Each structure stands twice: as C-alpha cells, then as structure tokens.
Amino acid sequence: MEATTLTQPTPAVAEKHLVKKVLIICARGTLEDVYAALVMANGALMEGMEAKMFFTFFGLDAIRKEKQDHLHTATVGNPAIPIPTMVGGLPGMEALASAMMRKEMDKLDIPPVSEFMEMIVAGGGEIYACKLAADMFKLEREDLIDDLVDIITVGDMYALAEGDGTQIIFI
Amino acid sequence: MATLTYDLHTVDVNDEGYLTDPHQWSLELAHEMAREMGIELTDTHIAVLNFLRERYLAEQPLTIRRIGKSGIVTIKEFYGLFPGGPLKVSSKIAGIPKPASCV
C-alpha cells in the first residue's frame, strides 16, 4: 500500500485584530455610568479609533440639555457608597454625594458631561439617541443637545457598528 | 536600549518609539520624525509641541482637555493636526514619554 504523505498545515501566524471602532450604548443615567461611557468613547478617539455613542432609556438624561450636567449617583442601594442606607435616603443626600464626586473629578481634569461631549464630538465621535426611548419619555429633538447627530432606531444603531474591528459596549 | 535613526539624527527610544531622553530632542529631529509619520510640521504644530514639552518638563499632567484650553489650538484642530491619536502622536514628535492619561 502506498503511503500517502500528509503535509503538515503551516501554523497560522497569529494576526492581531485591533479594535478600530467602538459603539458604546449607554442605557443608564447615573453619574458613574454616564462617565464610564464618556471616558471609553473619548479614550477610543485618543487612541485613533472611531467612536459612536447611542443613548437610550435613562441614558437619555446624559444628552438632555437641562439634565446632563446635573446627573446623580445613587446613595441608596449602592453598597460601594460609604453612607448608611437610612442616611442616604435623606433629602439632599444624593445631590450632596454627586456634587462631591463632581468636585473630585474636576481635580483629575475630568470635564462636566456637556464639555466632555463637546470634546468627543471635536475628536470626530458621533452621538445618537434612541427613537423608542425618546418617544417613551416624550422628548423632542430640541430637548436634546445640539451636537446630537440624530434620533435613530435600533436597526440604524446596528448599522453604526458596521466594519471589521468594531466592538459594541453596553452600559 | 534601542535607538532609532531618522534622516540625520539617532536617538534612544523605548519599544514604542518614544524618546527616552527628552534632551536629545531638537526641532530638526521633530521635522524628521513628523515626516516619517506623514505630517509636515507647520508653525501651529510646533507651538503645540513646545506647549507639550513645557508642560512635561514642568511635570504637569497632559490631557486633551488641557491642550484645548491652551489657547493654541481647539480640540478639533488638535485632532486634525496629529491624526491617529493626537496626544500620543504629538508626544512622540515632541520627544516626551507617552502620556499616561485617560482623558
């Protein structure tokens, strides 16, 4: 019987698949979640990647003109905050804790939400709002920041993620 | 330590190509490095590089926001001048370490 020679497959050279684009979906309106989204979007642009942001549900507060610079962090039901739950529920506690956090962030050169978004847009980032959530909260285009590209459907949102090397991040 | 040779200058660099000794930097070197990256330095580029070096040598942190507030360029212009990650690219050409900054 004739021996068949098996050719060894050449080992594939590990190819680096770099992240080229991020689509960051922010569905939350708390200070820390919105900042997480903003830092990641801005950080992507700083690295030379593309960045798109899609705000939905409570995340819409981050792109509402009159709300975006007054976001709060939760002082109740937030085990990471060193305030007893009973105290955290007192009137004004949430505003106080949020103001303290904003002050600390300013020291680190982290801008207010509105300025952060201006930086992201200046770096080529794009900001979108969810149509379904905007309808649900009865928000009109003029309630939202001027820099907003558009209010779009979920299908349009997925279209933003087209191309190799895109990562979708949900917050 | 690795070295990199541009047209006329040889400099010590780290594995990412950043100068390890900012005193080996010169404006001529900056022109050579920028050209290699496809950037032709203008007066505005040079003003930004000088700003970065001043701040670095004064041990002040560098962020995109600070550059936007420098009065030299807007953030949008900064992205336009140094495409592909402006803070990294400009720091490399300015001969200073890669900024360890998240904003």
Q: H/E element holding B54?
A: helix B43-57
Could you report the predicted ipTM of this complex, rounded to two decimals? 0.90
In a domain? residue A104? no
Over 80: is that where the pLDDT of A9 sits? Answer: no
Strand order in the sheet with A150-152: A150-152, A126-130, A50-55, A21-26, A166-170
Could you give the residue ranges of the DSSP H alpha helices within chain A? 31-46, 85-88, 93-107, 113-122, 131-136, 154-160
Quote the pLDDT of residue A2: 58
Separation between Cα atoms, residue B59 and residue A107, nearest integer Å: 16
Over 90: is that where the pLDDT of A62 sits? Answer: yes
Over 90: is that where the pLDDT of B103 sits? Answer: no
**Residues on chain B touching A36 (C-beta within 8 angstroms):** none
In a domain? residue A9? no
Over 60: is that where the pLDDT of B98 sits? Answer: yes
Quote the number of domains for chain B: 1
In a domain? residue B54? yes
**Chain B (2-61) residues lying within 8 Å, Cβ to Cβ, of chain A:** 61
In a domain? residue B60? yes
Residue in the structure block whose two tokens are 């299908």:
A155
In a domain? residue B48? yes
Q: Is A164 on the interface with B (CB under 8 A)?
A: no
Separation between Cα atoms, residue A142 and residue A145, nearest integer Å: 7
Quote the number of domains for chain A: 1
Over 60: is that where the pLDDT of A1 sits? Answer: no
Q: Is A124 on the interface with B (CB under 8 A)?
A: yes
Question: Do A43 and B102 lie within an 8 Å CB cutoff?
Answer: yes
Q: Is B102 a catalytic residue?
A: yes
pLDDT per residue over A126-150, tens digit each?
A: 999 999 999 999 999 999 999 999 9
Quote the pLDDT of residue A136: 97
In a domain? residue A79? no
Which residues form the domain of B12?
2-93
Which residues form the domain of A65?
25-74+114-170
In a domain? residue B101? no
Size of interface A-B (CB pairs under 8 A): 46
For chain A, the average pLDDT equals 92
Residue A159 belongs to domain with CATH number: 3.40.1260.10
How would residue A39 be classed by pLDDT, with cut points 50, 70 and 90? very high
Given A109, A118, A122, which is nearest B103 (Cβ)? A109
The predicted model gives A28-34 an average pLDDT of: 96
Closest-CA residue of A relative to B73 is A122
In a domain? residue B26? yes
In a domain? residue A70? yes
Q: Is B68 on the interface with A (CB under 8 A)?
A: yes
Quote the pLDDT of residue B8: 78
In a domain? residue B85? yes
In a domain? residue B102? no
The predicted model gives A57-76 an average pLDDT of: 95
Closest-CA residue of A relative to B66 is A109
The residue ranking higher by pLDDT, A152 or B5, is: A152
Question: Do B66 and A109 lie within an 8 Å CB cutoff?
Answer: yes
The residue ranking higher by pLDDT, A137 or A15, is: A137
The residue ranking higher by pLDDT, B46 or B100, is: B46
The predicted model gives B32-61 an average pLDDT of: 95
Question: Do B75 and A119 lie within an 8 Å CB cutoff?
Answer: yes
In a domain? residue A68? yes
d(CA B43, nearest CA chain A) in Å: 21
The predicted model gives A84-106 an average pLDDT of: 90
Given A39, A46, A122, which is nearest B85 (Cβ)? A46
Separation between Cα atoms, residue A4 and residue A34, nearest integer Å: 62
d(CA A38, nearest CA chain B) in Å: 10
Quote the pLDDT of residue A14: 73
Quote the pLDDT of residue B1: 66
In a domain? residue A164? yes
In a domain? residue A86? no
Question: Do B79 and A124 lie within an 8 Å CB cutoff?
Answer: yes
Over 70: is that where the pLDDT of A113 sits? Answer: yes
